[in-house]
């Protein structure tokens, strides 16, 4: 049994993390830090937890905690760690983008390992500090890594991915408000999205001379999930492509390659990634589906915690999809 703390527990990822850890047999939540909600019940903010916990938000931090999750806005984890130093024995899992890139992975003597288990499982098992991947980055990397490992990601790759409104966080903006998202769709940060950096670094782990990525992110009129498609040049048959993907993910706990076309609802409310590949006229099309709040954030953070602490990788993550 370990004691865990959560920093920034009032947002969507914080709420999902609390829900997962409350039902994890090997974790006790010691505190959920929030300066704006200190003293109030966690269930008053995350109303789905009504009757499941009497936890209250706290403005105090235990610097000797076994493990802490940082669920802060991008750029804020660095500042928080400077103002609230934790002990050398405290494991840290950061859900922001502060430490994901190699150039930023060392912070005040801490070496953060990029927490994509399908790529760095052995490193994660030995790590004390984890940079949890981004949601778009997770879906897209899992779609492309088998091609990079086979060093056949030689031509440009075209990617189109749509995320639910929860990907933008709890704060309201003109493009997250219901009246904007409902019956609407739009793209943003075309070809320049911040997740491209971590995606490229992971692909370069296998193939140094890969093709360029052209990524168009979209806002969808649904709440949860990421639906991503990518296509590029491929010389081979569909059965060869499928065998390539199944071989790469044969030991993956949460990534499955489907023989049949997939749909987003299959993975919503789970820590799974479902993949499907088809070949047409010398092109491979890969479909990738994840829940942006789970495999794209809090679920993957718990998966990383399990690996770091020597727990079974699937512990606390046996979740049912919302397909029905």
Domain boundaries, position 164: 135-290
pLDDT per residue over 37-68, tens digit each? 999 999 999 999 999 999 999 999 999 999 99
Claim to verify: residue 127 and residue 144 sit in the same structural domain: no
Q: Is residue 317 part of a domain?
A: no
Q: Is residue 320 part of a domain?
A: no
- DSSP code string of 186-203: EE-STTT-TTHHHHHHHH
Average pLDDT for residues 318-324, to the nearest whole number?
85
- Other beta carbons less than 10 A from residue 3's beta carbon: 15
Q: Is residue 318 part of a domain?
A: no
Helix, strand and coil percent figures for the chain, each rounded to 5 = 30, 25, 45
Claim to verify: residue 155 and residue 79 sit in the same structural domain: no
Write down the catalytic residue from 71, 135, 273, 309.
135
Would you place residue 194 in the very low, low, confident or very high pLDDT band (cuts 50, 70, 90)?
Answer: very high
Supply the pLDDT for residue 48. Answer: 93
Supply the pLDDT for residue 172. Answer: 63
- Between these two residues, 193 and 94, which has the higher pLDDT value? 94
71 counts as catalytic:
no
Q: Is residue 86 part of a domain?
A: yes
State which H helix or E strand residue 32 sits in: strand 27-33
Claim to verify: residue 102 and residue 144 sit in the same structural domain: no
pLDDT per residue over 242-291, tens digit each? 999 999 999 999 999 999 999 999 999 999 999 999 999 999 999 999 99
264: tokens are 């987003």
Domain containing 29 — which CATH number?
A: 3.40.50.720
Claim to verify: residue 69 and residue 160 sit in the same structural domain: no
Claim to verify: residue 104 and residue 11 sit in the same structural domain: yes
Claim to verify: residue 221 and residue 279 sit in the same structural domain: yes
CA-to-CA dists, residue 285 to 18, 70, 213, 277, 302, angstroms:
36, 35, 14, 6, 30
Claim to verify: residue 283 and residue 153 sit in the same structural domain: yes
What is the number of alpha carbons within 13 Å of residue 144 lying toward its C-beta?
A: 37
Q: Is residue 321 part of a domain?
A: no
Claim to verify: residue 192 and residue 303 sit in the same structural domain: no
Residue 176 has pLDDT above 80, yes or no: no
Average pLDDT for residues 140-161, to the nearest whole number?
97
Claim to verify: residue 241 and residue 274 sit in the same structural domain: yes
Number of folded domains that form the chain: 2
Claim to verify: residue 144 and residue 256 sit in the same structural domain: yes
Claim to verify: residue 151 and residue 118 sit in the same structural domain: no
Claim to verify: residue 223 and residue 145 sit in the same structural domain: yes
Q: Which residues contact 222 (CB under 8 A, 6 or more apart)?
A: 164, 165, 264
């Amino acid at each position: 049994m370990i004691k865990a703390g959560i920093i920034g527990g009032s947002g969507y990822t914080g709420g999902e993390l609390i829900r997962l850890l409350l039902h994890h047999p090997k974790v006790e939540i010691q505190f959920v830090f929030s300066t704006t909600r200190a003293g109030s019940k966690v269930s008053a903010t995350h109303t789905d937890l009504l009757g499941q916990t009497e936890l209250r938000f706290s403005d105090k931090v235990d610097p000797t905690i076994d493990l802490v999750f940082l669920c802060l806005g991008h750029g804020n984890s660095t500042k928080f760690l400077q103002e609230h130093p934790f002990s050398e024995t405290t494991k840290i899992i950061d859900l922001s983008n502060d430490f994901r890139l190699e150039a930023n992975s060392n912070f005040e003597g801490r070496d953060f390992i990029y927490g994509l288990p399908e790529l760095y499982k052995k490193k994660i098992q030995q790590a004390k500090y984890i940079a949890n991947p981004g949601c778009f980055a997770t879906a897209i990397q899992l779609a492309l890594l088998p091609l990079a490992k086979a060093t056949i990601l030689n031509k440009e790759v075209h990617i189109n991915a749509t995320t639910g409104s929860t990907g933008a966080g709890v704060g309201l903006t003109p493009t997250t408000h219901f009246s904007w998202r409902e019956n609407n769709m739009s793209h943003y940060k075309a070809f320049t999205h911040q997740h491209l950096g971590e995606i490229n670094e992971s692909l370069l782990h296998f193939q140094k001379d890969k093709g360029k990525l052209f990524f168009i992110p979209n806002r969808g009129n649904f709440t949860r999930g990421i639906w991503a498609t990518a296509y590029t040049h491929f010389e081979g048959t569909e059965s060869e492509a499928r065998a390539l993907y199944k071989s790469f993910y044969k030991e993956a706990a949460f990534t499955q390659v489907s023989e049949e076309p997939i749909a987003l609802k299959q993975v919503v409310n789970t820590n799974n990634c479902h993949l499907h590949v088809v070949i047409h006229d010398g092109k491979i099309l890969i479909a990738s589906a994840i829940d942006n709040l789970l495999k794209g954030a809090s679920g993957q953070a718990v998966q990383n915690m399990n690996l770091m602490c020597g727990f079974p990788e699937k512990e606390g993550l046996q979740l049912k999809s919302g397909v029905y």
